[in-house]
Structure 1
């Protein structure tokens, strides 16, 4: 989720009066507080079983590129991307990224499902590169930060403090001018409001201001390069799978004005967001709401896949 300062769910008012259990209100964390926070994080699922096993299954059909390794003792995590086997160096590139925030599950599994079920459909038309799980340590702990309490999705810039972000930037550097379309897969969850935003406020020594979690799917367009027809094509495709988030009473989603049904805009490069790492004409960030009573995990994954396919199809039709 792309955090914004004006959101609230049904528990937010009650929780806003309870100090976060780490740190002193009003004082940014130091290394002691970060270590306390890190000690609270426990491994809840397996990157090897959930992600690497699927990538291994895809090796006979696609090229698998190891683009880095995260060393977080006692663990290390190899980083892999899946690439079209008929890579040409002349065709435009489609980039699909997932798991920048490891807890956003459908971003990871949606990227893998797209690769497994539909990536071959674009052979000979696009060079497709899928980086399905950019933050495996956070994936295993169902968190948005890396072990240094750094958010990778504010860190896609030169001299990045997040190795997750730096590794992807190195992978993409030779391709930046060739990327035609980039879709970055995310979720907005209820835990954003009762855990992750309070933790962010505590880490930075700021007061927590409750916000609103939208019920449904939405997209984040680029303020500096808006592509309304592209965003609309994705919304229409996803609407066949799951519901689209409505605007709140102020005409906003997560504090940002709704510019079209289910669409807001952020300055992607300025904020150091993953979706701003290339010069692609067509760029978007998806936001699935997995906690909705109207959506199953299967629907969430399917919504991500539908978004990817619609993005690539639109880019090809309008290149």
Structure 2
């Protein structure tokens, strides 16, 4: 990849937010708000952008909406930063269709989970990623998110595929810190692996992940406060662990906004993604806080609580 890599860092490193997808009140992609959000993230100093991930509500978007997101962001960014695009779907053939679409639209890398709906064996997962890599003209990033696909990517399989050149990076949202450490260590010590990036998908342990040797982070909360996550990353790289920890703790408190939704009437997804979008709306970044159906919108009282989290974090 021909992107700037300051201080010898890998092409995929630092803070790579999973970009929210602003919607209009009638649930179409709000392209002007999307591009303002991209500018908000770039101005915050992020190192890359990941569209069509979980925080992007990719699972709720039509194929046409997915392509519109990639085309719009790719044209706007103009190659200044790596642009990753999710190709998340249930089966290999459907994922390959998405690969063709997003790479034609301008993605610099594709991000895929294990296949889902039916539970899969590691042999099938390996075949899935090998088929994606064979079809993709750009690097392939594995997305480990067992909460969504009901399968944990085994560390030894990730390292095997990295050594083969099938995978260029891993985004780990599994919550398995031991498994994450095994991949970080293996990527550093395996004689057949070069240039493989390992990033945490957690908002809460970015400083800890970087201390373990991770290359960066893909935190959804970075949509709301990109400057904060960039500060954590830069402080860790400078070895200023005390200040990094203090900034991480401020972000941990801010992350409390994802719990504002009443669990008696909505899912954690409705609450969390609704809170991200409410925060972006309150900060003046996007025009409308609508989430994709069938997610449930936050109430006025819940949005007010989001505002209190923002104020406490110094963002309002």
Higher helix residue share: 2
Instruction: Give me the TM-score of the superposition, normalised by structure 2.
Output: 0.26
Instruction: Give me the TM-score of the superposition, normalised by structure 1.
Output: 0.26
Higher strand residue share: 1
Q: Which is bigger in relative contact order (C-alpha 8 A, separation at least 6)?
A: 1
